[in-house]
Amino acid sequence: MMLIKVEQLSYLQVLHDLSMQVEEGDWVTIIGKSGSGKSTLLKLIAGLISPTSGHIYYQGQDITDLDPIKLRQSVSYCYQQPVLFGETVADNLNFPFKIRHQQPQHDQLVASLQSVQLPAEFLTKKITELSGGEKQRVAMIRNLLFHPKVVLLDEVTAGLDEESKQAVHQFLVKAHQNGTTFIQVTHEIDEIANAEQKLVLENGGLHHEELSR
C-alpha cells in the first residue's frame, strides 16, 4: 500500500517539482550535500512546514486536510536537532502516555532506554545534562514508543560512537521488522552502503543515482 505520495513539491528556492512515493514497509535512504534540502523535505512530509506548491498525501489524503494531531501520531519526524522538554528524561518518555491518558510502565521505559544503550538511571537525569547524542536517542525512542506508521529520521546517528550507532541501528531494524516505514536522511557511509532504497537529493530534486558533474 502507498503510504506517502509527494507530487510536484516545491519549497522556496530549495525544492523544485520533487515527486516521490513510499510504500508501506519501505526503508528509503536519502542522501545529498549539506544544504541540499533533506531536512526541508522531511519537515514538509511531517507537515511542519507548508509547500510553496505541490501536494503531499498520506494514505491517499492530502496532509493539509488531515487533523494535525493524527498526522503527527502517524508520521513522526525525528529532528536533526532534537527538542526535549520538561526537566528530566522521564518527563519526555512519559509524555506520549500522558497525551493518550495512559500510565507508563516503568519497565517498558527502562527497556526502551537500554535498547539504545542508555542506562536505567537516565530516567531521572536532567535534560540539560545530556550530550547531543543522548538527546538524539531519547527523542527518538520518545517518538517511536507508540509505533507511528512512518518515521522520518534526520541524521539520528550523527555524532554517536560506533557502539551506540549499532544499538540505534538494531533498534530501528527491529521497528522496521515490526512494520514501521522509514524515510532516513544520513551521511553515514555504512548506512548508505547498506541502504535498501537510496535516493539522492540534488538541485532540488530526487534521483536514483548520483549525477556526474
Ligand X SMILES: Nc1ncnc2c1ncn2[C@@H]1O[C@H](COP(=O)(O)OP(=O)(O)OP(=O)(O)O)[C@@H](O)[C@H]1O
Binding partner of residue 169 among Mg ion, ligand X, none, CB under 5 to 8 Å per kind? none
> DSSP assignment, residue 183?
E
Query: In the set 38, 125, 135, 142, which binds ligand X (CB under 6 A)?
Result: 38
Closest distance between Mg ion and the C-beta of residue 40, in Å?
A: 8
The stretch near ligand X (CB under 6 A) out of 36-44, 51-59, 111-119, 162-170 is 36-44
82 part of the interface to ligand X, by CB under 6 A? no
Q: Dig out the grid coordinates for 40 from the structure.
A: 526541508
Closest distance between Mg ion and the C-beta of residue 34, in Å?
A: 7
Instruction: Output the CA–CA distances (angstroms, integers) from residue 153 to 54, 57, 80, 144, in the order listed.
Output: 22, 19, 8, 11
145 vs 93: CA distance, rounded Å = 8
Residues at the contact surface with Mg ion, assessed by CB under 5 A: 38-39, 80
Query: In the set 3, 4, 14, 167, which binds ligand X (CB under 6 A)?
Result: 14
**Angle at the Cα of 199 (from 147 to 184), degrees rounded to 5?**
25
At 107, give phi and psi (nearest 5°): -60, -35
39 part of the interface to ligand X, by CB under 6 A? yes
Query: In the set 18, 27, 37, 90, which binds ligand X (CB under 6 A)?
Result: 37
DSSP string, 4-50: EEEEEEEETTTEEEEEEEEETT-EEEEE--TTSSHHHHHHHHTTSS-
35 part of the interface to ligand X, by CB under 6 A? yes
Closest distance between ligand X and the C-beta of residue 67, in Å?
A: 25
Closest distance between ligand X and the C-beta of residue 121, in Å?
A: 32
34 part of the interface to ligand X, by CB under 6 A? yes
| Cα dihedral sign, 174-175-178-184 | negative
